[in-house]
Amino acid sequence: MVGAAQAAHYPSAKAGGVTMVSPPGLPSLREDVRLLEGPSDPAGAPTWTLHDPGRNRFYRLSWPAFEILARWSLGDPRAVVAAVRAQTPLTPDEDEVWALAAFLTEAHLVHAGGPDDVARLLGQEDRARTGWGTWLLHHYLFFRVPLLRPGRLLDVLLPWVSWMGGRGFAGPRWQPCCSGCSW
């Protein structure tokens, strides 16, 4: 869940963790991202679910994160903070807005259009790439060790129990489950 309490877990753009497209403004969200009402959290507070249909990912948002995101179109973190403070009992600060922006950027939920975004995406691709040794270990060098090979035992026992699979074993009251059933 992304929320005000988790803001410290995401890098802040002010601290140099993530470079935004336009430093004073917030990046714009993608049009296909949907915000849905979610279940209540264990304390009873409402939550919302952010759905990314392109990657089929779901992100749980807390109430403070939802209120920040509801005013995201203001574009300026100071304006978002002022609007949330004026319209709700919440008191977020700009760091929480930047933390949410960093999360949305890392989750690919914002538009990527500038050279900084291209460099960030290329860096993410390089970090996600594995070396040939890791690929070989995970995809090519594996084998199964069977713990039990029951085939020979089953072949020996089949003549002794094959009569249980016939129609006579079910008895005279046996009825097929439907008219097209071949049992």
Range of the domain at 48: 7-110
Domain count, the chain: 1
Give the closest residue to 4 by CA, choosing from 64, 89, 52: 64
- What are the residue ranges in the chain where pLDDT is below 50? 3-23
| pLDDT tens figures, 143-161 | 677 888 888 899 999 999 8
The number of CA neighbours under 13 Å toward the Cβ of 155 is 4
Rounded Cα gap, residues 51 and 32, in angstroms: 9
In-domain check, residue 166: no
In-domain check, residue 179: no
In-domain check, residue 131: no
In-domain check, residue 43: yes
In-domain check, residue 182: no
pLDDT score of 182: 59
In-domain check, residue 70: yes
Question: Coil, strand or helix: which one is 14?
Answer: coil
Question: Coil, strand or helix: which one is 51?
Answer: strand
Question: Coil, strand or helix: which one is 84?
Answer: helix
Give the percent of the chain with pLDDT over 90.
33
In-domain check, residue 39: yes
In-domain check, residue 25: yes
